[in-house]
Amino acid sequence: MNSLTVDRTEKTQIGAMAALVGVQITFGSLPVIAKVVLAVVPAVALVGFRVGVTAVILALVQVFRRRFWLRERSDYLRFAILSLFGVTFNQLLFIGGLSLTKASNTSLLAVTIPIFAIVLGGLTGIESFRRATIFGLVLAVVGVILIIDPRKASFSSETTIGDLLIILNSFCYGTYVATSKEAITRNGAFRSMMWVFLFASVICVPLGVWSISTTGTEVISGRIWLYMLHIAVVATAVPYLLNAWALARVPPSTVAVFIYLQPLIGFALAAIYLGESIDAAFIAAAVLIFAGLYFVTKRPVKRVNTGRMET
């Protein structure tokens, strides 16, 4: 392997890592803004708006690029199924679970997403079980738990249904991450995400229209509409595209484990903008999470496909 090929591979890896950091930052803006919106707009209506706007934006981009149709006829069924796990079930289960359990429970149970993705990837043969991956995953999980503090969680009978919905949500998104790489790589990030959201909108948009009809749009101010647009574009379309672009270039386990940066970024932003203190536990958690990312992402380069990948 010549130095040019190695250099190109390293640049691709760095680009994918930067994209995954961007995913966590843009996703990280969702909870605060969504909390303001959900005080006025029903949860299912927000999901319908979020999915519908993203689908329209991506469709317009692909029509302009003249890259609308998928490469293989069988990919339409693949993306229809992926849309259920990656968007429809994922978002509806998350919102439903969040309304029935505590936020601390939700944060703690979110650590199961990379676990599901890595285990499913190994069981299906998409990705091999590596000791370094498992070790890195454990380190990152411990780091996240240090930040979240499990003592704040309360797994009682009152939250059981909500907790189960969050676990199902984690399973759905983990399944999506573990199984979508091949189809996304073949069709490119933009085209793939367009079809994922088009298929998801078939279910989510009608549900959203029905939901908003129960309250009416007259209660939604211009500021709330702008917040909803931000959620649809910045906190949905952008991270899903970056995630897909990275997934076409790195293993599913790498994409999954970067989710553990979300609480780290959230706490860091709280320290910067809200004046919250960074203690020893936060520093220890950061070290563990970054160590975990290192072990999961570091792997020997055996074969490089130098062909051009679509976007």
**CA atoms within a 13 Å half-sphere pointing along the CA-CB vector of 23:** 23
Instruction: Say if residues 292 and 114 touch (Cβ distance below 8 Å).
Output: no
Per the domain annotation, does 177 fall within a domain?
A: yes
Query: Is the separation of the CB atoms in 23 and 246 below 8 Å?
Result: yes
Whether residue 303 is contained in a domain is answered as no
Distance of CA 121 to the CA centre of its chain: 16
Does residue 213 contact residue 160 with C-beta atoms inside 8 Å? no
Give the type of residue at 277. Answer: S
Distance CA 197, CA 204 (A): 10
Task: List alpha helices for the chain, DSSP H.
Answer: 3-28, 30-38, 43-65, 74-83, 89-100, 103-109, 112-123, 131-148, 160-179, 181-187, 189-213, 222-232, 238-247, 252-257, 261-273, 280-297
Asked, for residue 2, whether it belongs to a domain, the answer is no
In a structure prediction context, what are the per-residue pLDDT tens digits for the chain, which is 311 residues long?
A: 555 555 667 777 888 889 999 998 888 777 668 778 888 888 899 999 999 999 999 999 899 988 899 989 999 999 999 999 999 999 888 877 777 777 667 766 777 888 888 888 888 877 777 888 888 888 888 887 776 666 666 666 777 888 888 889 989 999 999 999 999 999 999 999 999 999 999 999 999 999 998 888 888 899 999 999 999 999 899 999 999 999 988 888 888 888 888 777 767 766 666 566 677 877 887 888 888 888 887 765 554 444 455 55
In a domain, residue 3? The reply is: no
**Residues 183, 126 contacting (CB under 8 angstroms):** no
| Residue at 311 is within a domain | no
CB contact at 8 A, 248 and 181: yes
- Indicate whether 304 belongs to any domain: no
29 closest CA partner among 231, 255, 247 = 231
Tell me how many domains the chain contains. Answer: 1
Give per-residue burial for 288-301: e unless 16+ CB within 10 Å, then b: bbebbbebbbeeee
Question: Which range marks the domain in which residue 37 is found?
Answer: 10-297
Q: Would you say residue 111 lies in a domain? A: yes
pLDDT at 75: 95
What is the C-alpha to C-alpha distance for residues 257 and 230, in angstroms, rounded to an integer?
Answer: 25
CA distance 238 to 53: 12
Q: How far lies 169's CA from each of 19, 81, 191, 207, in Å?
A: 23, 15, 24, 18
In a domain, 227, yes or no: yes
Report pLDDT for 159: 76
Q: What's the CA gap between 139 and 133, in Å, rounded?
A: 10
